[in-house]
A and B are shown apart, each in its own frame.
Chain A
């Protein structure tokens, strides 16, 4: 599989339900980030979890990281129609003083009102 594969590729839920997206990566990382992108628009940073952290919360978002399995999950609780977007897992490796981001293919989330 490729670096940063998200699972599922597409997810459709009802408003109020929770959405869980998973991601795997291949190389060692400094941190892992999740971004969202509304259709054809820019990338918005959601949350960053460092390689020595296992879980992080931010509002309705909960991210877990398992470096032994090279996997992460993003949970969005009490989803809203406005959460409809593509969500990308991004593995981050520091190299040569700058950070190299490797994006996954993304999960397309649709939240139905």
Chain B
């Protein structure tokens, strides 16, 4: 069964460093999403992406964040200058046309 994959599973970085989280969505899906979950808190929507552009973003998704689909398979989330409060689990998801979103296993980001 096709699934969303994410790499790395765990990323440790120093405050102020740039990180890129990678996702490979399900191949025939058209909509792509990033969510984050700070430890012990709700899963929060960050951004949705369709047709090579952002379709919606939350207040969390400020200028430090960017997304890209550099080729036909990868979907990346970049955080330019990480802060301690960016430490969280980041989930990528993809969906077909108005169907359920399939989530990846997540990348745990730890900012020291």
Residues of A within 8 A of B (CB): 4, 30, 33, 35, 40-45, 48, 88, 94-106
Contacts and interface: CB of A to CB of B under 8 A. Distances in A.
Given A43-B106, A88-B43, A96-B55, 10 more contacts: A41-B106, A42-B104, A43-B103, A97-B31, A98-B31, A98-B33, A98-B95, A99-B48, A101-B43, A105-B41
Contacts of A105: 41-42
Given A43-B91, A97-B50, A102 B102 contact: no
Interface of B: 31, 33, 35, 41-45, 48-50, 55-56, 89, 91, 95, 98, 100-106, 108
Given A33-B100, A94-B98, A106-B42, A100 B56 contact: yes
Contacts of A103: 35, 42-44
Contacts of A42: 91, 103-106
B105 A100 contact: no
Nearest 7 Cβ contacts at the A-B interface: A42-B105, A103-B43, A98-B48, A43-B103, A96-B55, A98-B55, A98-B31
